[in-house]
């Protein structure tokens, strides 16, 4: 995915505020042998790009002053309540750059799982993204989790994920984490009508009176 950025000369809080008032978003690009550089982007174009999953989890082609460089989105700062992007950070990457990056989990074949198809259970997605380590050139847009074999009472863990070659999970000292669980259907209990019960008591009382 390619986007256009522009060189930014003025820095500081006041300059950034004035920049936002003109429909631009300040940013920075860092990494590699080149010094960090300040940039600016068209806010509307950036806002729409940020709605796409690939913009967050894949290597991007950023064009600045007619030159294209490979970058990765590292941080986005949003306004607390306005639909406004305050600042963005990008990291330059190349074939030798090794990354730690969170990528989304894509669950497939859920409707074919015995737990769902046969036992009418629901699969709860406990995790929606996971952190991985890999070379920049190997960064996947997402990690696929196949739920096709999940049965009633089953649980899917990080150890069940089939990772592409060269991809490692970053667990931060934790072990086999749960990424999906099976929720069994709740049986409905039909209560006896209260009115009918009351009528039965009245009938019983009348019968005793006649005796």
The b/e string for 42-81 (b: 16+ C-beta within 10 A; e otherwise) is bbeebeebeeeeebbbbbbebeeeeeebbbbbeebeeeee
> Which of 192, 116, 103, 99 has the alpha carbon at shortest distance from 150?
116
DSSP one-letter string for 142-194: -EEEE-TT--TT-EEEGGG--PPTT-EE--TT--S-EEEEEEPPPPPPPPPPH
What pLDDT digit, counting tens, does each position of 70-93 carry? 999 999 999 999 999 999 999 999
Report the candidate in 35, 41, 31 with the shortest Cα–Cα distance to residue 8. 41
* All domains of the chain in start order, with CATH: 2-93 (2.40.240.10), 99-183 (2.170.120.20)
Of the candidates 101, 115, 193, the residue with the CA atom closest to the CA atom of residue 154: 115
pLDDT of residue 187: 72
Residue ranges for the chain with pLDDT beneath 70: 188-211
**pLDDT given for residue 205 in this prediction:** 59
Q: What is the pLDDT of residue 9?
A: 80
pLDDT at 153: 92
Token couple for 4:
């256009």
Q: Which of 37, 38, 33, 31 is nearest to 16 (CA)?
A: 38
153-166: pLDDT as tens digits: 999 999 999 999 99
DSSP-derived 3-state class of residue 87: strand
pLDDT of residue 12: 79
Q: Cα 112 to chain center, whole Å?
A: 23
Phi–psi pair at 105, nearest 5 degrees:
-95, 130
User: So what's the pLDDT on residue 140?
Assistant: 92
pLDDT value for 44 = 96
Phi, psi of 168 (to 5 degrees): -125, 145
Note the pLDDT of residue 14. 83
């Amino acid at each position: 995915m390619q986007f256009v950025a522009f060189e930014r000369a003025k820095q500081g809080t006041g300059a950034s505020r004035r920049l936002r008032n003109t429909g631009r978003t300040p940013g920075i690009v860092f990494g590699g042998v080149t010094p960090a550089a300040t940039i600016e982007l068209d806010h509307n174009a950036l806002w729409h790009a940020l709605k796409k999953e690939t913009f967050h989890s894949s290597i991007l082609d950023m064009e600045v002053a007619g030159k294209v460089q490979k970058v990765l989105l590292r941080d986005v700062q949003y306004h607390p309540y306005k639909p406004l992007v305050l600042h963005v950070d990008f990291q330059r990457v190349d074939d030798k750059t090794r990354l730690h990056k969170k990528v989304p989990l894509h669950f497939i074949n859920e409707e074919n799982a015995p737990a769902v198809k046969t036992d009418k259970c629901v699969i709860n997605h406990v995790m929606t993204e996971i952190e991985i380590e890999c070379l920049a050139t190997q960064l996947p847009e997402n990690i696929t989790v196949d739920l096709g074999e999940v049965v009633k009472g089953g649980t899917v863990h990080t150890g069940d994920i089939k990772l592409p070659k060269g991809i490692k999970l970053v667990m931060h000292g934790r072990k086999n984490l749960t990424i999906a669980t099976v929720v069994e259907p709740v049986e409905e209990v039909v209560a006896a009508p209260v009115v009918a019960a009351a009528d039965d008591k009245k009938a019983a009382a009348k019968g005793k009176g006649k005796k």
